[in-house]
Structure 1
Amino acid sequence: MADKGDLGWRAVAGAAAFVGGFVARKALTYAWKKATGKEPPTNPESPQVALSEALGWAVVTGVGMEVTRLLVTRAAARQYAKANGRLPASFGMNDA
């Protein structure tokens, strides 16, 4: 059973990931429009979307969302450690 600290960390990390994902998606869409001059594909799996465009959007969103998740999780862990004097237990580094 998770203790209160783990539940608190899960809530903080979940909220941070949700907000970070939302902002990242908006930023990636904006950057795609600026770079290509058109909207990103809404359904890249469709055969009507050019393969190069579908692959490009998949790479951009995959890398962009993962980088965002990494940065947001690190920032949330840093704030959690400031507030609690230790990293979340799931990090396995509570001596830091």
Structure 2
Amino acid sequence: MAKDSSKVWSAFSLVSALGSAAVAKKALDGGWKAATGKQPPANPADPDVDFWEAVAWAAASGTFVALAKMFAQRRAAGYYLKSTGELPPGLRKDV
């Protein structure tokens, strides 16, 4: 049972992280365009992209996507807890 629950949690966690990252990126792209009037940099490492624009994009996108993934995985862990009665593997505290 522990092996199966670990696989279920891995899949569930992965799907929630990928889904939230995609939604966050779409929202962030729209917010960037609304705030700056330009498309976000496709590749901040490109020398043609202004340095401070690249820094701002990297900071904003990294933070926003990481927070979205964390919130989604916390929600997934809560759902897993309600469904199984225990925390997912890797989140269980040692007794």
Aligned pair count reads 94
User: How far, CA to CA, are the matches of 1:89 and 1:31 in structure 2?
Assistant: 36
User: How far, CA to CA, are the matches of 2:61 and 2:38 in structure 1?
Assistant: 16
Alignment match, 1:37: 37
Asked if 1 retains the 8 angstrom alpha-carbon contact of 2:24 and 2:68, the reply is yes
1:32-61 C-alpha deviation (Å, 9 max, x unpaired): 011111100001101110001000000011
Q: Does 1:79 align with 2:79?
A: yes
RMSD, aligned α-carbons? 1.4
Asked if 1 retains the 8 angstrom alpha-carbon contact of 2:33 and 2:40, the reply is yes
TM-score (norm 2): 0.93
Unmatched 5+ stretches in structure 1: none
Unmatched 5+ stretches in structure 2: none
Classify 1:94/1:16 alpha carbon distance in 2 versus 1 (closer, same or farther; 3 Å).
farther
**Deviation above 3 Å: which 4+ runs of structure 1?**
none
TM-score (norm 1): 0.92
Percent of counterpart pairs with the same letter? 36
